[in-house]
């Protein structure tokens, strides 16, 4: 957002809509009501099942554990991203909204969306590090995450969010590809000079591909060594499925958004990329409810408030970690 607040000339050069008429492409040609409705419905579904999980994470016995503290932070970020990447994108897609209809609104929303994505990435890395250390070296896990130090990690995520929000280019909704790209005039103006570029987001995605692959490979190695001792192969396979699914979705999104920002691909791939992004923000809730019986039980108690109040002292079983990032 620095161009808007601190560099009026740059803002007018890059984001002025006066050199074309956006209605030269009519709204009915820009709108995607079916795809947009799918995005909205998918995001709302994930939000509905995610909120009870976050309410459970606020319970004393959960919030005392660093991994659940990090999962709560990630969950807040995920819900914000579901509202952005699913609900907002879907509504804009249904009506075929383009940047020049609401330039300032979309500019600020796009800044927030890119920042939320980058904050989600760094939170995932922190959570992955926590999971590896909890399994491989409890001493270092206590040093880095014990005694309220998760708060320090949260400040790192918040700082990264603000840096990206204030000092990098915003994503701009593109109804033709149903995605958030950096060129606000895409289709109307092709940007052959590549003036619309966000280096932080680009390198963030590249780093995520490398770092997440490295951390998860380490995690799977630790898991394999532990399973060879305990012979708990069923648990190892289950954990592998969880890790593989979340890692793969995140890596696919990082790679896809690096590509679609600068390469014109079939529009269907843009739809698919955005849909995977929505699902990636909602998948943790599915994992919590399907692969952690203890957490699932407490979520059902939250839904049925009276029963939850009567049984909130149930023992938490942290060994069954739902997301195993």
pLDDT in tens, the chain (325 residues): 888 998 999 999 999 999 999 999 999 999 999 999 999 999 999 999 999 999 999 988 888 888 889 989 999 999 999 999 999 999 999 999 999 999 999 999 999 999 999 999 999 889 888 877 877 778 888 899 988 889 899 999 999 999 999 999 999 999 999 999 999 999 998 888 888 989 999 999 999 989 988 887 887 777 777 665 555 555 555 555 665 666 677 778 888 888 877 777 788 888 988 998 999 899 889 988 887 788 888 888 888 865 555 555 544 444 344 444 3
The kind and range of the H/E element at 245 are helix 233-260
> What pLDDT is attached to residue 321?
43
Q: Which domains does the chain have, with CATH numbers?
A: 2-8+65-311 (1.20.1070.10)
Residues 34-38: contacts with CB within 8 Å, 24+ apart?
A: 35/90, 35/93, 35/178, 35/271, 36/89, 36/90, 36/91, 36/92, 36/93, 36/94, 36/95, 36/178, 37/90, 37/94, 38/90, 38/275
Over the stretch 110-164, which tens digit does the pLDDT of each residue have?
A: 999 999 999 999 998 898 888 778 777 788 888 999 888 898 999 999 999 999 9
> What pLDDT is attached to residue 98?
97
CB 47 within 8 A of CB 77: no
Over the stretch 126-141, which tens digit does the pLDDT of each residue have?
A: 988 887 787 777 888 8
User: In the chain, what are the helix, strand and coil shares in percent, each to the nearest 5?
Assistant: 75, 0, 25
């Amino acid at each position: 957002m620095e161009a808007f607040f601190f560099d009026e000339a740059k803002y007018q050069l890059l984001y002025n809509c006066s050199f074309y008429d956006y209605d030269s492409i009519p709204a009915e040609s820009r709108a995607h009501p079916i795809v947009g409705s799918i995005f909205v419905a998918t995001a709302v579904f994930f939000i509905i099942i995610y909120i009870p999980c976050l309410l459970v994470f606020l319970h004393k016995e959960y919030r005392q554990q660093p991994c659940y503290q990090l999962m709560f932070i990630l969950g807040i970020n995920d819900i914000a991203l579901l509202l952005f990447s699913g609900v907002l994108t879907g509504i804009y897609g249904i009506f075929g909204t383009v940047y020049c209809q609401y330039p300032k609104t979309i500019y600020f929303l796009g800044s927030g969306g890119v920042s939320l994505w980058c904050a989600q990435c760094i939170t995932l890395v922190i959570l992955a590090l926590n999971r590896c250390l909890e399994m491989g070296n409890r001493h270092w896990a206590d040093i880095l995450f014990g005694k309220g130090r998760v708060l320090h990690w949260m400040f790192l995520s918040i700082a990264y969010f603000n840096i990206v929000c204030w000092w990098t280019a915003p994503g701009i909704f593109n109804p033709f590809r149903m995605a958030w790209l950096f060129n606000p005039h895409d289709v109307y103006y092709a940007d052959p000079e590549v003036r619309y570029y966000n280096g932080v987001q680009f390198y963030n995605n590249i780093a995520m591909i490398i770092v997440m692959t490295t951390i998860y490979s380490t995690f799977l190695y630790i898991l394999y060594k532990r399973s060879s001792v305990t012979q708990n192969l069923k648990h190892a396979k289950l954990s592998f499925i969880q890790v593989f699914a979340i890692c793969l979705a995140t890596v696919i999104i990082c790679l896809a958004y690096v590509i679609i920002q600068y390469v014109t691909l079939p529009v269907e791939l843009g739809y698919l990329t955005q849909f995977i992004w929505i699902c990636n923000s909602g998948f943790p809730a599915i994992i919590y409810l399907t692969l952690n019986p203890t957490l699932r039980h407490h979520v059902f108690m939250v839904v049925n408030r009276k029963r939850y109040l009567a049984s909130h002292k149930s023992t938490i079983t942290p060994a069954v970690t739902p997301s195993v990032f």
